[in-house]
């Protein structure tokens, strides 16, 4: 039983083998090998995992003897301890999982207040299924489970099992189909997707997990490396850490005759290889190894699996124990996420090399008895020494009239005040102006710990003056939300309560702001670097911020207006989610997004060459594209994008979708191919519709017949595309949607 219909896939003439030792060697999944004889390869491809023997391969966690006892080498235990001590959870980063997909509806990936799902606001924030070419990278049966298990070790969280970084976001990139077959091209596309999409989410993709591998030989080495290495180099240059499983075929004559060679891409110079150790800290018998390799526990590791694995019961809450370098790899990958989080919280701006070097510098060195090779196990506590709060004086010192120098760990403001000013430009100071006109300034001398600023009541305004460093601001207008307003700056977390009016000036650093709406009707106006979210009783104003994320999920009928930069910008529209990213004339990279708004209106009027990418929903969508405006409507939301030079619309998620393309030029060109319709203006601007069930074309308000015998299926009221007659445009648009019943 599968969740989606199976799509035929291109297969390489390579046997697919797991990097999970607990899975039968005959299961044709998660690694490539062309070193087998043709007959053996054919046997492997035919002898896949079946439902009758699944219990011999995947053992439920509640079966006796399936889980190894905790040891001093357990990274999961180390992460849990540090979570309790310092609150390190992976929050603020996204991990890409290139694998068999993720069962995103599993309880281990449930979002507080929203449940399980995929998309902005959920734990699995997005992804793509390269095997079936759609936006639902679910870990389907009969062969799927591996990616879900890996994702659970990375960032799962439930009463049964918690991963290393349980508040990190996940991206699922599915490169194996329902039967476990995959292709190098799909993996190449997934790596390229990470490069292209690394900043498209609320939190950037910092880490990639590849629990896959290929046993290369002279016949296929150049071929495989030629396909993947350029993308791996791209991610390395992007500063994204890529981790890959070393392999489970140590000294196996059938797979890698008499060699310790790592599988590819673990052997790539642009990838960090990870091997498996047992409870005693020794390299696992099955694991590939090389000098200086990183190691983590990989035997009997418990994590989530999809519902189909042990028989469908409608409850997506199954767990299993697996062994392999596949299980070790996500633990090391997530360890770097926690180290990066700690370094940022300490006021640092670490590069990927900084994070990896800190991990290596504090790892424990061991010798492999069989080969004499050196390997390193991870010591998270040591890696975090000097980065986390160590306490401080709780005695305030008199700083003179009107000023008090105090420890940041003890400051609580609880005044019915009208004006608060938090200045981060030179140290950290808080000025409080009370309703009676009196003032007090707090000089925060100890920047370890947490500050609670509680306005308590009244009409209160907070102004925050940012430093040249990187600050992270989160503001919520809904008092009943689970989301708490807070600011992270210079290693200090400042909790903000009771402020109705907040203004944040970034100060020139690499700042990020996340805003949440109220339960009423709210309005967002977002420009390059600036954003204002307002509603009844509140106003959030952020300025000089390079990345803004705005959520409208608390209720009401919310509207958003997004405006481009003076450089080249790219608009991406997905159901309920719109993002606009670009680089302005000063070279600053900017990103703004709106999630959950009923109406979104992006504008490209500031300059540059701007592009819009529109994607359909699972329902019935209507797309209308003219030279000046592109509109998509479905399921209670509408996006109207104006003045983008190039527009591409994709229909791949389901429903019966209709595209309407309007031209005001008789000299423009039309091109029609299977599943594609393109209009090109005389100045080179393009409008492209892919995969739509029906495409209607108009020139100067009249239906036209397209090339290749493709003709419009209907003749609805055309849109007026004249810039000089905007009222007529609005009226025509309204009549089109009335006719369609939208």
For tokens 């994070």, what's the residue?
Answer: 355
DSSP for 138-156 reads: ---TTT--HHHHHHHHHH-
> 386, 362 in Cβ contact below 8 A?
no
Q: From CA 492, how far away is CA 476, in angstroms rounded?
A: 19
Q: From CA 236, how far away is CA 142, in angstroms rounded?
A: 34
Q: From CA 80, how far away is CA 65, in angstroms rounded?
A: 23
Other CB atoms within 10 Å distance of the CB of residue 10: 11
Q: Which residues of 344-362 are buried (b: 16+ CB within 10 A; e: fewer)?
A: bbbbbebebeebbebbeeb
Task: Decide if 485 is catalytic.
Answer: no
Q: Point out the catalytic residue in the list 73, 106, 146, 149.
A: 146
Query: Token pair for residue 351?
Result: 């590069």
- Provide the strand spans (E) within 131-271: 169-174, 205-210, 213-215, 241-245
Task: Decide if 99 is catalytic.
Answer: yes
Q: Point out the catalytic residue in the list 33, 73, 99, 565.
A: 99
Q: From CA 574, how far away is CA 632, in angstroms rounded?
A: 10
Query: Token pair for residue 485?
Result: 């307003």
Q: From CA 97, how far away is CA 635, in angstroms rounded?
A: 30
Task: Decide if 146 is catalytic.
Answer: yes
**CA 72, chain centre distance (Å):** 32
Contacts for 221 with CB less than 8 Å, ≥ 6 apart:
264
For tokens 């919520």, what's the residue?
Answer: 476
Q: From CA 351, how far away is CA 349, in angstroms rounded?
A: 7
> 91, 341 in Cβ contact below 8 A?
yes
Q: From CA 684, how far away is CA 643, in angstroms rounded?
A: 14
> 578, 594 in Cβ contact below 8 A?
yes
Q: Point out the catalytic residue in the list 326, 377, 633, 634.
A: 326
Q: From CA 507, how far away is CA 592, in angstroms rounded?
A: 18
> 683, 668 in Cβ contact below 8 A?
no
Q: From CA 229, how far away is CA 234, in angstroms rounded?
A: 9
For tokens 């939301």, what's the residue?
Answer: 637
Query: Token pair for residue 192?
Result: 């390229």
**CA 603, chain centre distance (Å):** 25
Task: State the catalytic residues.
Answer: 99, 146, 326
């Amino acid at each position: 039983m599968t969740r989606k219909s199976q799509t035929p896939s291109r297969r390489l003439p390579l046997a697919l083998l797991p990097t999970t030792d607990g899975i039968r060697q005959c299961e044709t999944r998660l690694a490539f090998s062309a070193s087998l004889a043709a007959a053996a390869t054919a046997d492997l491809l035919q002898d896949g995992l079946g439902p009758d023997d699944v219990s011999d391969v995947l053992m439920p966690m509640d079966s006796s003897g399936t889980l190894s006892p905790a040891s001093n080498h357990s990274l999961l235990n180390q992460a849990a301890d540090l979570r309790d001590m310092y609150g390190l959870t992976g929050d603020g980063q996204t991990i890409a999982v290139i694998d068999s997909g993720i069962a995103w509806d599993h309880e281990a990936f449930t979002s507080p207040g929203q449940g399980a799902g995929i998309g902005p606001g959920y734990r699995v924030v997005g992804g793509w299924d390269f095997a079936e070419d759609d936006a639902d990278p679910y870990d389907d049966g009969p062969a799927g489970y591996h990616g879900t298990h890996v994702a659970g070790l990375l960032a799962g969280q439930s009463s049964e099992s918690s991963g290393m970084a349980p508040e990190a976001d996940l991206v699922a990139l599915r490169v194996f189909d329902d039967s476990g077959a995959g292709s190098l091209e799909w993996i190449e596309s997934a790596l390229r997707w990470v490069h292209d999409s690394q900043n498209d989410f609320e939190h950037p993709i910092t880490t990639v997990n590849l629990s896959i591998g290929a046993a290369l030989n002279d016949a296929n080495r150049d071929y495989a490396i030629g396909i993947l290495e350029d993308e791996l180099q791209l991610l390395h240059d992007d500063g994204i850490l890529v981790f890959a499983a070393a392999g489970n075929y140590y000294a196996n004559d059938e797979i890698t005759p008499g060699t310790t060679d790592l599988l590819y891409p673990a052997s790539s110079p642009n990838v960090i290889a990870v091997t498996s150790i047992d409870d005693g800290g020794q390299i696992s018998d099955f694991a590939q190894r090389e000098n200086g390799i990183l190691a983590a526990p990989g035997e009997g590791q418990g994590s989530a699996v999809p519902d189909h694995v042990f028989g469908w019961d409608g409850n997506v809450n199954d767990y299993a124990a697996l062994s392999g370098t596949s299980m070790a790899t996500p633990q090391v990958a997530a360890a770097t996420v926690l180290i990066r989080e700690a370094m940022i919280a300490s006021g640092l701006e670490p590069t990927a090399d900084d994070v990896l070097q800190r991990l290596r510098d504090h790892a424990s060195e061991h010798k492999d008895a069989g080969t004499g090779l050196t390997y390193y196990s991870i010591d998270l506590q040591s890696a975090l020494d000097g980065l986390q709060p160590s306490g401080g004086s709780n005695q305030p010192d008199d700083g003179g009239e009107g000023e008090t120098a105090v420890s940041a760990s003890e400051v609580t403001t609880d005044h019915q005040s009208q004006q608060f000013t938090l200045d981060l430009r030179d140290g950290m100071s808080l000025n409080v102006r009370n309703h009676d006109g009196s003032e007090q300034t707090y000089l925060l001398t100890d920047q370890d710990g947490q500050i609670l600023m509680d306005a308590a009541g009244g009409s209160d305004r907070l102004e925050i003056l940012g430093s040249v460093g990187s600050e992270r601001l989160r503001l919520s207008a809904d008092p009943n939300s689970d989301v708490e307003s807070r600011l992270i700056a210079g290693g200090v977390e400042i909790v903000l309560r009771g402020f109705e009016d907040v203004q944040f000036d970034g100060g020139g650093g690499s700042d990020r702001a996340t805003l949440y709406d109220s339960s009423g009707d709210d309005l967002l106006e977002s420009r390059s670097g600036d954003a204002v979210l307002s509603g009844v009783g509140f106003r959030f104003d952020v300025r000089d911020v390079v990345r803004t994320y705005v959520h409208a999920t608390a209720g009401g009928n919310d509207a958003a207006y997004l405006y481009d930069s003076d450089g080249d910008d790219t608009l991406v529209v997905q159901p309920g989610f719109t993002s606009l990213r670009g680089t302005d004339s000063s070279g600053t990279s900017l990103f703004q997004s709106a999630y959950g708004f009923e109406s979104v209106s992006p504008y490209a009027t500031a300059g540059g060459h701007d592009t819009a990418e529109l994607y359909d929903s699972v329902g019935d969508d209507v797309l209308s594209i003219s030279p000046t405006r592109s509109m998509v409507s479905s399921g209670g939301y509408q996006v109207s994008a104006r003045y983008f030079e190039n527009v591409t619309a994709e229909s791949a998620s389901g429903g019966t979708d209709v595209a309407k393309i309007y031209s005001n030029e008789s000299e423009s060109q039309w091109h029609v191919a299977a599943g594609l319709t393109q209009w090109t203006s005389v100045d080179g601007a393009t409008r492209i519709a892919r995969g739509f069930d029906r495409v209607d074309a108009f020139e100067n308000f009249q239906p036209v017949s397209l090339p290749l015998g493709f003709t419009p299926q209907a003749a609805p009221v055309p849109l007026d595309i004249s810039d000089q007659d905007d009222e007529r445009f609005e009226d025509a648009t309204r009549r089109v949607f009335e006719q369609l019943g939208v």
